[in-house]
A and B are shown apart, each in its own frame.
Chain A
Amino acid sequence: MNRSTRRAPRLSFPVPDLSRRGFVRGAAIGGLGVGLPGLLAACGTEAAKVESDECTSTDKSDSEKVVNFSNWPEYIDVDGKRMPTLEAFEKQTGIQVNYNTDVNDNTEFFAKVQNQLGACEPIGRDIIVMTDWMAARMIDLGWIQELDHDNLPNVDANLVPNLQDVAWDPGRKRSVPWQSGFTGIAYNSKYTGEIGSFEELLTNPDISGRISLLTEMRDTMGFMLKVVGADPSDFSDDEWGQAIEELEKAVTSGQVRRFTGNDYVDDLNKGDLVACEAWSGDVIAMQYDNPDIKWVVPEEGLSLWSDNMMVPNRADHKANAEALMNYYYDPEVAATLAAWVNYICPVQGAKEAMEKIDPSLVDAPLIFPDEEFMAQTFAFMSLDEETARKYETEFSQAIG
């Protein structure tokens, strides 16, 4: 059969002298020229650790009344399409806020900005909000500017005592807490009875394949360490190994359906997940729409974390950023924000201010926890860069 009979006639414009050999030779020479920058990569990568003091730029705050704020989704008060506290700030100071919710996951955001910050280049943001361990990592890498506390009188006066001094940023020189929160268990009571502990979450056959854990290593492994009887704030390499083994067991047995970020919210609502590791503010917010969702303080305790506002290197509007940080430490503003986001408010005096805003929340332990409640919490110990990477790799292998 002659297949070429039905073939369309070939395009036949003349291309003399463009022999394959000539072309390849030309391309090879051209390729050498263009390929050279690529070949430079053969020498390795530059260290991403920089000296923060050498990576500043002139503050344009006086001439440009703008601040670019990158935060997590659903982390600020909203009224329809308006954001009341932000608008009040704009009116009060004349500084326009470009508010973006482009932080979904610490690791993901880090991947997004690492090339610029590692090379002392601007990322176009004046405030970023990172969880403790990532904030510590960025400060350690020298990516964060030192704040001028003269511009932060409210922060100095009203920050709750237990957050005033953290190991990774003594004296809060480079970070200011935005909100704190708890990690615990949430379940959908339409589909299951109470799940009271992580041990049960990981072994109860009735909910097999219908639970999720968080992709945040410190959240999930904190509880795994508790399950094997270790202390997340001070554990050994052996204990870490046992905890990882325990996690792998739960994954291979098919108990764990997914590892998630914020997106467990949808699945738990629909019933694809019946119980999961969850963040306190999310769960309280869900309960307004779906009363079946329940929050549990697991027998193992609650994991405690904070998210921190920071000014990255080469940010152009540092003074404006400081004005915004200071504004959110006004007790009344803080209470308005807390009433909406339902996370732990790091501002003293906000509890009293809450009386006027929403009296029903004054005694909510998840927003204004008392000392007794705080006694159930634990934190994850800080890791050096090498250990952190080793643990993160082991964790990502265990969850995959």
Chain B
Amino acid sequence: MSALSHVPGPTGGTPDVQATDPGTERRGITGYLLMLPGTVWLLLFFLVPLVTLVSSSLYDPSGSLATGYSMTGHVQNYADALSEYGSTFVRSFLYALTATIACLLLGFPLAYAIALKAGRWRNLMLVAVIAPFFTSFLLRTLSWKLLLGDDSWVVNALQALPLVPDDLRLLATPAAVITGLTYNFLPFMVLPLYASLERLDVRLVEAAADLYASPFTAFRLVTVPLAMPGIVAGTLLTFIPAAGDFINSELLGNPRTRMIGNDINDLFQASVLPTASALSVMLMVAIVALVAVYVRRSGTDELV
């Protein structure tokens, strides 16, 4: 009886607090107990490292591994890191943005086809989207080195085409890095899009057609808004890891395509803690800010 009274109404709303219910207190503890593992996990592996990261970004930069770093609240680290690595930041976000758009353009038709047109092939196609995850991320990226290499059949075939310069090169260019990012993060775009489109009520599209909407208008006014949660989730899942990635740039790029992840990685290895930490914090803040603006602008707070 009391369980029923907590079922929220059709409009949602918060469950009523029933202080008089005799079972309340015990269930309250159960709730906390259920949250305990997750909370401890978050505290240990998110909050503690975060505090460490932020404080090491404020260390005195004149310290070193041998002498130790002292905490002096050196905020200047941020300005220094930004002036030195600002252009790499811009480049990282540009690459990640381009890859995200490419993923959306490739992923939407694919997810649409799987969700609405694939029929009995649907599960097979889904497996095909996920299948690359069965091999390692590194291995997949290394394979692109073979595909795009200077003497590979792809490059040789392209060079044979008219209008393509004979000294065309694909590997170790920005194009290769963006291609790698697009390829590696495409499933993260396709799966949420598929989840959204799969729930699409086709009768709504039919209704739009009945009301004299052209296929394109119906797509623009019915399908896309209904797929919005998937689009938002997919772009976030693609953009965020892509902006911090360093493997693609390391393996497919050249010294002028380095992304911020490469610099952070190198600086930590060289144990230049203050700069490395300041860059990490800035990357995190920049991504959170961008995501917040994006989610608000697309008016999808409730959908994510």
Contacts and interface: CB of A to CB of B under 8 A. Distances in A.
A280 B56 CA distance: 41
Contact of B256 (A14, A42, A251, A389): A251
A49 B65 CA distance: 8
B172 interface: yes
A41 B66 contact: no
B21 A16 contact: yes
A43 B65 CA distance: 15
* Count class of interface residues, chain B: 35 or more
Nearest to B58: A42
B39 A27 contact: yes
Contacts of B31: 15, 17-18
Contacts of B18: 16
Contacts of B226: 3
Nearest to A42: B55
A270 B151 contact: yes
Contacts of B3: 12-14
Contact of B56 (A41, A118, A209): A41
Given A16-B27, A251-B256, A38 B7 contact: no
A383 B25 CA distance: 67
B47 A31 contact: yes
Interface in A96-136: 107-108, 110-111, 114, 118
Contact of B199 (A6, A30, A118, A396): A6
Interface in B256-271: 256, 258, 262-263, 266-271
A37 B50 CA distance: 12
A47 B68 contact: yes
Contacts of A107: 269-270
Interface string B100-120: 000000000000000000000
Contacts, number: 163
Interface stretch (A255-263, A290-298, A310-318, A346-354): A255-263
B40 interface: yes
Contacts of A4: 10, 12
B150 to A, nearest CB: 5
Nearest to A47: B68
B149 A16 contact: no
A105 to B, nearest CB: 9
B255 A258 contact: yes
A400 to B, nearest CB: 5
A48 interface: yes
A192 interface: no
B27 A39 contact: no
* Count class of interface residues, chain A: 35 or more
B32 interface: yes
B136 interface: no
A256 B255 CA distance: 8
Contacts of A12: 3, 6-8, 15
Interface in A310-368: none
A233 interface: no
A383 B283 CA distance: 33
Tell me whether chain A's interface is mostly helix, strand or loop, or mixed. Answer: helix
Given A38-B47, A43-B71, A399 B255 contact: yes
Contacts of B199: 6
Interface in A223-281: 251-252, 254, 256-259, 270-272
B24 interface: yes
A19 B47 contact: no
A209 B39 CA distance: 51
A42 B149 CA distance: 47
Given A44-B68, A400-B262, A114 B271 contact: yes
Interface string A1-33: 101101000101111111100010011001100
Contacts of B48: 34-35, 37-38
A371 interface: no
Contacts of A114: 65, 271
A399 B258 CA distance: 10
A14 B5 CA distance: 9
Contacts of A141: 65-66
Contacts of B67: 47, 49, 385
A389 B62 CA distance: 10
Contacts of A45: 56, 59, 63, 68-69, 273
B49 A400 contact: no
A3 B15 CA distance: 22
A79 interface: no
Contacts of B15: 12, 14-16
A146 B32 CA distance: 55
Nearest to A400: B258
B64 interface: yes
Contacts of B43: 30-31, 34-35
B268 to A, nearest CB: 7
B63 A41 contact: no
A46 interface: yes
25 contacts: A12-B7, A14-B15, A15-B27, A16-B28, A23-B35, A26-B32, A30-B39, A35-B51, A37-B48, A38-B47, A38-B51, A42-B71, A44-B60, A44-B68, A45-B273, A47-B66, A48-B68, A254-B254, A256-B254, A257-B172, A258-B254, A272-B150, A272-B171, A399-B255, A400-B263
Please list the 10 inter-chain residue pairs (A to B) with the smallest Cβ-Cβ separation, ordered nearest first: A38-B48, A17-B28, A47-B68, A38-B51, A18-B31, A42-B55, A41-B52, A44-B70, A34-B43, A44-B71
Given A38-B48, A400-B266, 9 more contacts: A4-B10, A12-B3, A16-B6, A17-B17, A46-B68, A48-B65, A49-B67, A258-B172, A258-B254
